[in-house]
Amino acid sequence: MIAALRSEYRKIVTTRTWWVLLLAMLAYMSFLAATFAFAMTQGGAMGGPGTQGLGHSPTSAISVYTIAVAFGYVFPVIVGALSVTGEFRHQTITPTLLAEPRRTTLVGAKLLAAVPVGVLYGVLGTAAGVGVGAGVLALTDHATYLDDPEVLVAVGRSVLALAVWAVVGVGLGLAMPNQVAVIVVVLAFTQFVEPILRFALAFVADGALAGVGAYLPGAAGEAITGSSFYSQMGAGELLAWWQGLLVLVGYALVFAALGRVTTLRRDIT
């Protein structure tokens, strides 16, 4: 297992994909953190009726610092997914299974190999949010709340959430080994379907379904940090952080198991 893990880890870090996507994530997160930190200093001017707005508070500071968990998780997901779909796209699944014919071991190695990569995305993606966000707050003479333990814990959990997202990506890639399909599905779901679903679930049926939205993967990821733009803007409640963690890990394992009994059950021709 250790040997398979080392092989899988090397596969991820020996192509350009991981750092190209990482740079894209850092640029995007820096831009968003700057934008939202600035909005935060405008004293809730963005908030409409029925929302709490973006006041200057530790809670909204957390939302800025953990912006990667709300908007940037798609990057570790895609890196994780590509670690599987690339094998099918370039037919390297053949030598991979020759080197490691135990397919369940391979699934485990791929899931675990995504962890260090996810941690890297988590550390740097969160650092971009914190660095740029706190920088904007400091430049505009607002408190950064970086000495608030609650804020620091949330920042730490942001790294955890993003690392788990990379593992979810591996699961998705196993369940859906077509590279184009998985990228389209990931982008469509994370950027469009889930946000709409979360707002819709919060408002339909007098909020009776609001609890369901908390179990969607994006909401579970945000629950790990405990605060987010979506929840701040009234898109339903979040789970406790550990519940969110379990739900997100659950998604990764369910997808991976699905991939094990479909994709990796088939003949490799």
Residue 136's nearest CA partner among 229, 227, 65, 54 is 65
Of residues 97 and 209, the one with the C-beta less far from another protein = 97
**Residue 86 makes contact with another protein by CB under 8 A:** yes
Among 24, 27, 31, 102, which residue interacts with another protein (rule: CB under 8 A)? 102
Among 91, 104, 191, 262, binds another protein (CB under 8 A): 91
Residue 117 C-beta: closest distance to another protein, Å: 14
Q: Which stretch binds another protein (CB under 8 A): 22-30, 86-94, 163-171, 252-260?
A: 86-94
Verify binding: residue 178, another protein, rule CB under 8 A.
no
What's the rounded Cα separation, in Å, for the pair 240 and 157? 12
> Residue 260 CB, nearest distance to another protein (Å)?
15
Residues in the chain: 269
Least Å distance, CB 104 to another protein, is: 11
Check binding of 108 to another protein (CB under 8 A).
no
Establish if 171 lies at the interface with another protein (CB under 8 A): no
Collapsing DSSP to helix, strand or coil, 103 comes out as helix
Q: Is 187 in the site for another protein (CB under 8 A)?
A: no
The distance of closest approach from Cβ of residue 12 to another protein in the complex, given in angstroms and rounded to an integer, is: 9
CB of 169 to another protein, least distance (A): 18
Closer Cβ to another protein, 48 or 101, answer by number: 101
* Residue 180 lies near another protein (rule: CB under 8 A): no
Q: Closest CB to another protein among 5 and 134?
A: 5
Separation between Cα atoms, residue 45 and residue 265, nearest integer Å: 55
Q: How many whole angstroms separate alpha carbon 193 and alpha carbon 71?
A: 14
What does the alpha-carbon distance between residue 80 and residue 190 come to, in Å, rounded to a whole number?
15
- The rounded distance, in Å, linking the Cα atoms of 26 and 8 is 24
* Opening angle at CA 42, ends 41 and 43, nearest 5: 90
Distant-in-sequence, close-in-space partners of 15: CB < 8 Å, separation ≥ 6? 86
For the CB of residue 98, give the shortest distance to another protein in the complex, in Å: 6
How many helices and strands (H and E) does the chain possess? 14, 0
Whether the CB-CB separation of 114 and 12 falls below 8 Å is answered with yes
CA dist 269 and 267 (Å) reads: 6
* Residue ranges in contact with another protein by CB under 8 A: 3-4, 6-7, 10-11, 14-17, 86, 90-92, 94-102, 267-269
